[in-house]
Every structure is written in structure tokens, then in C-alpha cells.
Structure 1
């Protein structure tokens, strides 16, 4: 057996992940995070994890919400560009820290650009996005033109 679609084999677990995703999305809205920042975080996490399915989906979502191709082109090297606000840079750095779980933790993102509520919201968003990446990659979701 080479491919198993996790959502079809255990639909109840998939449903719970969908519910957790809804809670994370509500948290980012409640925290007042801009929708483009949310998509940038999802894109960056998916780049780190190598999830083509989620990269395509969230890049399309970002474009539909008004994101520019220039910013999308450099999100993989966000720290080298001047395209991103202090809050976006902090959120991207936090997302990378949560995704990579560096030990000891590097708190380079903690520059005061994010409130406690926003930090928590980005943390939950990152946890959920990492889970979605793993579902899509493990299930070999198709990504074709």
C-alpha cells in the first residue's frame, strides 16, 4: 500500500482537525490579524514543510485577497526583504519557530509587534497549518496543473 488518504480512513479525526482549524481562524480574527498576514503565515509554513497542495491553495487565497506577486515571490526569504511590516515579520518568525521547534527557542520574533492574543492566535494557526500540511503530504493529495 503506497498511499492512504487519511481523511477517508479516519473521517472523525479529519472532522476534529477541521473544527480545530475553525477555532484557530476565529482566534486570528478575534486577535485582529490582517487576512493577508494569515495567508503569508500559511504559505511560509507550507514552504518549510514542502506541501505543494497547501502552497497552491494558500497562494491562490492570498492573491484573491489582494496579495502582490512581489511579496509572494520573496516570502521564502522574508527576513532579507523590506516588503513586510514589523508585525508580519514577527508573525513569520514565530510561525517558523513553532514549525521548526528550535531548542533552545530563539525568540527573535518577540519584538513587541504582536500582542499576547495575536501571538497565541499565530501559534494556534501554525499548529493547525502544520497538521494540514502533514495530512496533505501523507495522503499524497494531487497537485496538477
Structure 2
């Protein structure tokens, strides 16, 4: 087994104001009216796309904690072909892919996708989804840069 060594402490812990700011964002997202399971499915998908093993592990554990099935958790990696997600979840996952892969398209969030998302979620919920996706992309970039280990992430230390 290869050991990934952390390069430095997590910047959100080095700069406590950043940690508090990110916490405030996540608190707001949790109050946005999107089911916790959907927020965690979105978080897992962002982390898969960005290759953040610590976040993939963390969201796997969170999904298990809210009672998600193995089928649904594993299905996130191929959500477009998976039968385990309803239309609203599919819209959230499509938005996740679009906002995480901004450079893949000149129109990252086309009107058709926007209509699908807003068909299932109100403005407060769409706001929560967008902020969840953006915040998880932030976490992934930080964690990948410092090589946050999946088996001993800083958020589980002391």
C-alpha cells in the first residue's frame, strides 16, 4: 500500500478565520432545504471528479451515516446510467458535473440544465446546491494541494 504523506497542515486549520468562514457557508447550505442525502451525494460527486480521496472517504462515511444504500453510493460514479436516483437528484448531480467541470464547455450551465434544476428546486434550494458544489470544490483543491490523507484526515485529528 502506498502511503500519502501530508505536505502541511490543512490551510483552513492554519488560518482559523478561513475555517470559520467555510463552516458558516456549510451551515447556510444545511438550512437551504435540500435533503442531507442529496447534499452528500453532490459532495461525493464533486470529490470524485476532483480526485480528492480524503473527501471521497469522508462523504462515503457521511452517506452511510444517513442510511444511504451501497447501490446509491457506488452509483454516484456513474449516476447518468444508474437507476438509483430520482429526477431531482439527477438534476443536482448534473449541475454538480457542470459546475465542477467549468472548462469543459463554453456554456457550463446551459438553459436546459438550469430549467431542469429549477423544476425540482426553489431559489433557496438552488442557492444551497450551488454553494455546496462551490464549497466542496474549494475543499477538494485545498485537500489535494496539501495531500490530505484519506485514512487520517485532519478533521478527525485531536
**TM-score by shorter chain over 0.5:** yes
Indicate the residue corresponding to 2:142 in structure 1.
Answer: 135
Tell me, yes or no, if structure 1 residue 91 matches structure 2 residue 92.
Answer: yes
Note the C-alpha offset of 1:143: 2.8
Distance 1:115 1:129 in 2: 21
Indicate the residue corresponding to 2:77 in structure 1.
Answer: 76
Note the C-alpha offset of 1:5: 1.9
Tell me, yes or no, if structure 1 residue 105 matches structure 2 residue 108.
Answer: yes
Number of matched residues?
142
Structure 1's 96 and 17: CA in aligned 2 closer, same or farther, altered over 3 A?
Answer: farther
Q: TM-score, normalised by structure 1?
A: 0.85
Gaps of 5+ in 1: none
CA RMSD of superposed structures (Å): 2.3
* 3-state SS, counterpart of residue 110 of structure 1: helix
Structure 1's 121 and 135: CA in aligned 2 closer, same or farther, altered over 3 A?
Answer: same
Indicate the residue corresponding to 1:115 in structure 2.
Answer: 122
Gaps of 5+ in 2: 153-158
Indicate the residue corresponding to 1:67 in structure 2.
Answer: 68
Tell me, yes or no, if structure 1 residue 51 matches structure 2 residue 52.
Answer: yes
Structure 1's 78 and 119: CA in aligned 2 closer, same or farther, altered over 3 A?
Answer: same
Indicate the residue corresponding to 2:156 in structure 1.
Answer: none
Structure 1's 24 and 49: CA in aligned 2 closer, same or farther, altered over 3 A?
Answer: same
Indicate the residue corresponding to 1:25 in structure 2.
Answer: 26
Note the C-alpha offset of 1:49: 0.2
